[in-house]
């Protein structure tokens, strides 16, 4: 009889562990689902390149991807990657720029931009862009400013240039859908 009560106690203990395991598993699934739901409702913190050093992070919720201020900040960072470089940084900056393109635009302009960057890395040319004005209409940002080009230590060109960037949103992240540059006569 004693042997039977030991077996009965062992059976009850194993059932208790099974119940506790299911309860713990259910609690973990609940925590996972609530964490995912909270993440979708969280504010997104964007830190454009070097902007955070001066102004701190920019907070944008998931529905504000078409905000004019938001698109302007993103476009300024994208244009700086395209326009501000030295022979040492041109490949890195151009790589960051083409990584922001949609696959369709990358197929058209991305490979060529990387080949040009590779050639520029071998020379002594550098350039920088000084923003004068920006305007936003729908998903298109126009940035106008002075593009200065140096060959070594000598400034060889200073032209007023307008860059037009068109964005499309993919999962709340704006990607460059269209890009063009043109010289503006004064």
**Of the candidates 127, 32, 25, the residue with the CA atom closest to the CA atom of residue 82:** 127
Give pTM, 2 decimals. Answer: 0.66
Give the CATH number of the domain where residue 164 resides: 3.10.450.230
| Gap between the Cα atoms of 49 and 95, Å rounded | 14
Half-sphere exposure at residue 72, Cβ-oriented, CA atoms within 13 angstroms: 12
pLDDT bracket for residue 48 (50, 70, 90): low
Which pair of tokens denotes residue 105?
Answer: 């635009």
Which pair of tokens denotes residue 166?
Answer: 């068109």
Q: How many domains does the chain have?
A: 1
Whether 172 contacts 62, CB under 8 Å: yes
Q: Could you report the per-residue pLDDT of 66-84, keeping only the tens digit for each?
A: 578 888 889 999 999 999 9
Q: Could you report the per-residue pLDDT of 130-145, keeping only the tens digit for each?
A: 999 999 988 899 999 9
- Residue 121, phi then psi, degrees to nearest 5: -65, -25
Q: 15 in a domain, yes or no?
A: no
Q: 93 in a domain, yes or no?
A: yes
Q: 95 in a domain, yes or no?
A: yes
**Highest-pLDDT range among 2-11, 54-63, 157-166:** 157-166
Q: 80 in a domain, yes or no?
A: yes
Q: Could you report the per-residue pLDDT of 108-134, keeping only the tens digit for each?
A: 998 999 999 999 999 999 999 999 999
| Gap between the Cα atoms of 92 and 138, Å rounded | 30
Q: 60 in a domain, yes or no?
A: no
**Exposure string for 145-174, b = 16+ CB within 10 A, e = fewer:** bebbebeeeeeeeeeebbbbbbbeeeeeeb
pLDDT number for residue 60: 60
Q: 58 in a domain, yes or no?
A: no
pLDDT number for residue 92: 92
Q: 149 in a domain, yes or no?
A: yes
Which pair of tokens denotes residue 69?
Answer: 């201020």
Q: 152 in a domain, yes or no?
A: yes
Q: By residue range, what is the domain housing residue 134?
A: 69-183
pLDDT number for residue 19: 77
């Amino acid at each position: 009889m004693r042997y039977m009560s030991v077996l009965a106690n062992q059976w009850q203990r194993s059932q208790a562990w099974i119940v506790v395991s299911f309860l713990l598993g259910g609690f973990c699934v609940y925590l996972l689902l609530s964490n995912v739901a909270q993440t979708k409702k969280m504010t997104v913190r964007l830190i454009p390149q070097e902007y955070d050093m001066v102004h701190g992070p920019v907070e944008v919720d998931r529905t504000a991807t078409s905000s004019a201020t938001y698109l302007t900040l993103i476009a300024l960072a994208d244009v700086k990657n395209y326009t501000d470089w030295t022979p040492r940084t041109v490949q890195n900056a151009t790589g960051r720029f083409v990584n922001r393109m949609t696959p369709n635009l990358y197929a058209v302009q991305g490979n060529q931009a990387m080949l040009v960057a590779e050639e520029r890395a071998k020379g002594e040319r550098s350039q920088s862009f000084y923003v004068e004005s920006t305007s936003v209409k729908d998903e298109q940002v126009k940035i106008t400013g002075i593009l200065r080009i140096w060959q070594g230590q000598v400034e060889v060109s200073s032209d007023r240039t307008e860059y037009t960037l068109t964005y499309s949103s993919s999962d709340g992240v704006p990607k460059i859908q269209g890009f063009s540059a043109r010289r503006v006569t004064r």
